[in-house]
A and B are shown apart, each in its own frame.
Chain A
Amino acid sequence: MRNIFLFIRRHLNFIFFLFLQGLSIYFIVHYSKYHQAAFGNISNRLTGKVNDQYSRINNYFHLKRVNDSLVKANERLYNKLRSDYQLPDTASRLVVDSIRVDSILQYKKFSYLSARVVSNSVSTQNNFIVITRDKPGELHNGMGVVDQGNAVIGIITDVSGNYAVVMSLLHKDSHLSGKLLKGGETGTLNWDGKEPNIITLSNIPKSARVAKGDTIITSGFSTTFPRGMMIGTVTEVLAEKSTSYFRIKFKTSADFNNLQHVYAIESTEQAPVNKILEQIKQQQH
């Protein structure tokens, strides 16, 4: 017994070292569970405030670019105005809506919430973006995030107070589904951790016709993003020799190096769909 105590005392430093290493590796591996429990709340509040101050100053240097992109977004929206379109004369007739309920609001599937980027990284292999919205309680887990040009950025994974952490597409655990606009084949997005703005789309069968410059959009299979939001354009098509799938490299439409203002997408369908999925899970167990 005495020898054991002597051993522990002599190697106390080494044991402590192993303990700290073990603890950090535990954090890395059990990241998501631990993150939501403790790390998220405390550290987000601390670093969020510091980041907020920094981004306030930093925003001034990007005002011109932000303005330009807002003008473009406005132009796009103006072009969609209903008053700009006219039906051919033969088809037009005046219809008075007899239903008094505003049916547009009832069937609105997605609504957009603007948010400001507080901190952003592209250099590590697991990148997160922190966004903030002045009104608390509107951002929540699982919301999709797009930039001003409606290009996909990521999904909110953690919320505390005004701040929300977005797991960007440039994260190894980020596996959204993407779809080829031309052929309609759906695959999974993966990031290999090397170049920001270059992501891989896998699980596209070799029967698909893919060419450089093709557009990749969201599939709309999940409730996170509406169908048809831009993800990127194909830069390289690689045929996997061992399987019958393509590996397609593409450039993201969103510029992850320059993010200032983003939109979080709230889906009204998310809650009921998740409820059904939960029920199915419970039935299977």
Chain B
Amino acid sequence: MSSLVKNIIRFVLLMLVQVYVLDKIHLHQMVTPYLYFLFILWLPFKMNRTVLMLLAALLGFTLDSFRHHPGFHTAACVLIAYVRPFLINLLIPQEGAEANYEEPSIRSLGGLLPYIIYSSILIMLHNAWLFFLEAWQFGDAWYFFSKTFLSTIISLMLVIITELIFPRKQRFRTNTAV
């Protein structure tokens, strides 16, 4: 399956799961589990950063359309799309791994730990920025921090569970093949 088709299917599926399954779950009236940004986490390494941000904005805007208030998720998604390349540069184990693998996964980042760091930082940034934008009208610091922290943990668990249920077969591509 080509990368384009795969990502379109992911976009639609993740959006449907987010809107019709996860948004219906409210743990303690405080935590909303988020998974839709897995689309951004799984985008290929070789993507232009401008395109990356545009896709993230589109993803966020789609969710915002379902929530009937534009802006919040768009801002959060654009932020993590911007930070993503820096993080990958820091975490990638050896020179050229971006060329050997197609997209970020447990294998391409060299182990479970770097992958958890990669996803937890992005999830944390997403949630913090999202709840900050939402909370600035309410202004309750403790509520904001605890909500961010708890939501991040739940989202991280969801990401890991998804990773275990749907293992992505990643071929090792040599440089010469390109």
Q: Which residues of A contact B93 (CB under 8 A)?
A: none
6 A-B contacts (beta carbon < 8 Å):
A16-B53, A21-B78, A25-B75, A28-B69, A119-B66, A125-B137
How close is B33's CB to chain A, nearest CB, in angstroms? 10
A150 to B66, CA, bound (A): 27
Is A225 close to B, CB under 8 A? no
Q: Which residues of B contact A31 (CB under 8 A)?
A: 69-71
On whether A124 and B134 interact (CB within 8 A), knowing A16-B50, A17-B78, A20-B57, the answer reads: yes
Interface of A is mostly: helix
* Beta-carbon contact of B70 and A13 below 8 Å: no
Smallest CB gap from B30: residue in A: A194
Whole-angstrom CA separation of A39 from B70 in the bound complex: 8
Chain A nearest CB from B51 CB (Å) reads 10
Give the total of B residues in contact with A, Cβ under 8 Å.
31
A binding-site residues for B, Cβ under 8 Å: 12-14, 16-17, 20-21, 23-28, 31, 34-35, 39, 43-44, 46-47, 51, 54, 119, 121-126, 128, 130, 165, 172, 192-196
Please determine whether A13 and B75 come into contact, CB atoms closer than 8 angstroms. no
A27 touches which one: B67, B71, B134 (CB < 8 A)? B71
Question: Are B71 and A12 in touch, CB under 8 angstroms?
Answer: no
Chain B residues closer than 8 Å to A39, beta-carbon distance: 65, 70
Q: Is B78 a contact partner of A46 (Cβ separation < 8 A)?
A: no
Q: Are A21 and B23 in contact (CB under 8 A)?
A: no
Check if B138 sits within 8 Å of A28, measured CB to CB. Answer: no
Cβ 8 A contact of A121, one of B23, B65, B135, B138: B23
Identify whether the interface residues of B are mostly helix, strand, loop, or mixed. Answer: helix
Q: Are B75 and A121 in contact (CB under 8 A)?
A: no
A275–B79 Cα gap in the complex (Å)? 46
**Cβ-based interface call for B166 (8 A):** no
* B67 / chain A contacts, CB cutoff of 8 Å: 121, 124, 126, 128
Contact present for A24 and B69 (CB under 8 Å)? no
B39 within 8 A of A: no
Question: Which chain B positions have C-beta within 8 A of A27?
Answer: 64, 70-71, 74
Whether B26 lies near A123 (C-beta < 8 A) is: yes
Interface contact A20-B26, CB-CB below 8 Å: no
B32-76 CB contacts (< 8 Å) to partner A:
32, 49-50, 53, 57, 60, 64-72, 74-75
Task: Flag if B78 contacts A196 (CB, 8 Å).
Answer: no
Given contact pairs A165-B68, A172-B137, A20 touches B53 in the complex (Cβ within 8 A): yes
Residue from the set A23, A28, A39, A119 with the largest chain B CB neighbour count within 10 Å: A28
Residues on B with beta carbons closer than 8 Å to the beta carbon of A196: 26, 29
0/1 string, B68-100, CB within 8 A of A gives 1: 111110110011001000000000000000000
Q: How far is the CB of A37 from chain B (nearest CB, A)?
A: 11
List the 10 closest pairs (A to B, CB-CB), nearest first: A27-B71, A28-B71, A43-B65, A24-B75, A128-B68, A24-B74, A27-B70, A24-B71, A20-B78, A17-B82
Which residues of chain A are near B69, meaning CB under 8 Å? 28, 31, 124, 126, 128
A119 to B32: give the CA distance in the assembly, Å: 17
Shortest distance between the CB of B59 and any CB in chain A (Å): 12
List the B residue with the shortest CB-CB distance to A58.
Answer: B20
Once A31-B69, A194-B143 are accepted as A-B contacts, the answer to whether A123 and B32 lie under 8 Å apart by CB is yes
Residues of B contacting A193 in the complex (Cβ-Cβ under 8 angstroms) = 134-135, 137-138
B157 at interface, CB cutoff 8 A: no
Shortest CB–CB separation between residue A131 and chain B, in angstroms?
Answer: 12
CA distance A47 to B78 in the complex (A): 22
- The complex places the Cα of A129 from the Cα of B19 at a distance, in Å, of 14
